[in-house]
């Protein structure tokens, strides 16, 4: 089941005009910022399908920028997000893509700062609900139903066991886990959905592990 909570049907509270093209877009932008761990300096946004055709009228552009500035779906500053972005020295460029995506509301964001870059593909599936389907070239499925951990690490033996061990020590149960890598021995990504809250203490322990490069947590 894609939708589980009544709040996904009655809600979100948001500024108009479109739950998928405005609220969903704001959520994708905000999630990208969260994963990037801060505000990017430059963002390239590629819009596909219905997003590419109708973003101006739906305020998809200002919503994505608003999300990147950490505005929630009901934050009325979304309307003037472009101004807020230039005040915050964040440069955003939009690209309308012709390619036909699997899902009509697809957006690819490339976030950059001086020493960091991240690429994320998100889809807005209706009523403000979103999914992140790709991160730095890794395919993933994050529904946002459970707290999730994203761990960028090096593809070495023992890393998975060490991560699982930290979670076990803190009595955190893993509901779903996916590990992918680009190439043997190179950058890899763990996506872990858990049942309990991930505390800062757990995050610190995970970050200290050998061959772990980056840890991010997502809560919905």
Partner 1 sequence: MIQQETEVTGRSREAVLTDMDEKLTIMEEAVRRGIEEDVKSVSGLTGGDGKKLEKYIENGNGLSGDTLLRAVSRAMATNEVNAAMGMICATPTAGSAGVVPGTLFSLKDKLNPTREAMQRYLLTSGAFGLVVANNASISGAAGGCQAEVGSAAGMAAAAAVELAGGTPKQSAEAMAMALKNMLGLVCDPVAGLVEVPCVKRNAAGASIAMVAADMALAGIESRIPCDEVIDAMYRIGESMSETLKETALGGLAATPTGKALESQIFDLSAERT
- Residue 66, classified by CB atoms within 10 Å of its CB into exposed (0-12), middle (13-18) or buried (19+), is buried
C-beta separation of 216 from 168 below 8 A: no
C-beta separation of 154 from 188 below 8 A: yes
Residue 131 beta carbon to partner 1: minimum distance, rounded to whole angstroms: 12
Q: Which is nearer to partner 1, 74 or 182 (CB)?
A: 74
DSSP at 27:
H
- CA terminus-to-terminus distance, the chain: 16
Using the rule CB under 8 A, which residue among 29, 40, 59, 66 binds partner 1?
A: 59
Which tokens sit at 136?
């730095």
Q: Is residue 9 involved in binding partner 1 (CB under 8 A)?
A: yes
Q: Is residue 56 involved in binding partner 1 (CB under 8 A)?
A: yes
Using the rule CB under 8 A, which residue among 11, 77, 176, 178 binds partner 1?
A: 11
Q: Is residue 175 involved in binding partner 1 (CB under 8 A)?
A: no
Task: List the 91-96 sheet strands across, edge first.
Answer: 91-96, 42-48, 105-113, 116-126, 129-135, 138-142
Q: Is residue 20 involved in binding partner 1 (CB under 8 A)?
A: yes
Residue 160 beta carbon to partner 1: minimum distance, rounded to whole angstroms: 28
Q: What is the CA radius of gyration of the chain?
A: 18
Helix (H) or strand (E) holding 16: none
What x/- string results for residues 65 through 104 when contact with partner 1 is judged by CB under 8 A? ---------x-x-xx-----------------------xx
Q: Is residue 49 involved in binding partner 1 (CB under 8 A)?
A: yes
Residue 33 beta carbon to partner 1: minimum distance, rounded to whole angstroms: 21
Q: Which residues bind partner 1 (CB under 8 A)?
A: 1-23, 49-50, 53-59, 74, 76, 78-79, 103-105, 125-128
């Amino acid at each position: 089941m894609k939708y589980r909570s009544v709040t996904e049907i009655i809600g979100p509270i948001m500024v108009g005009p479109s739950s998928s093209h405005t609220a969903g877009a704001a959520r994708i932008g905000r999630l990208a910022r969260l994963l990037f761990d801060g505000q990017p300096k430059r963002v390239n946004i590629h819009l596909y399908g219905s997003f590419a055709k109708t973003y101006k009228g739906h305020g998809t552009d200002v919503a994505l920028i608003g999300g990147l500035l950490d505005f929630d779906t009901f934050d009325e500053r979304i309307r003037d997000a472009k101004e807020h972005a230039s005040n915050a020295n964040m440069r955003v460029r939009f690209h309308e893509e012709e390619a036909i995506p699997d899902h009509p509301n697809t957006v690819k964001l490339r976030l950059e700062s001086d020493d960091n870059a991240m690429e994320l593909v998100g889809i807005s599936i209706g009523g403000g609900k979103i999914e992140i389907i790709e991160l730095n070239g890794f395919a993933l499925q994050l529904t946002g139903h459970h707290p999730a951990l994203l761990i960028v690490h090096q593809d070495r033996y023992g890393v998975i066991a060490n991560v699982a061990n930290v979670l076990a020590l803190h009595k955190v149960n893993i509901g779903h886990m996916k590990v992918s890598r680009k190439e043997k021995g190179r950058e890899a990504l763990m996506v872990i959905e858990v049942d309990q809250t991930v505390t800062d203490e757990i995050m610190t322990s995970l970050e200290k592990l050998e061959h772990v490069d980056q840890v991010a947590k997502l809560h919905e």
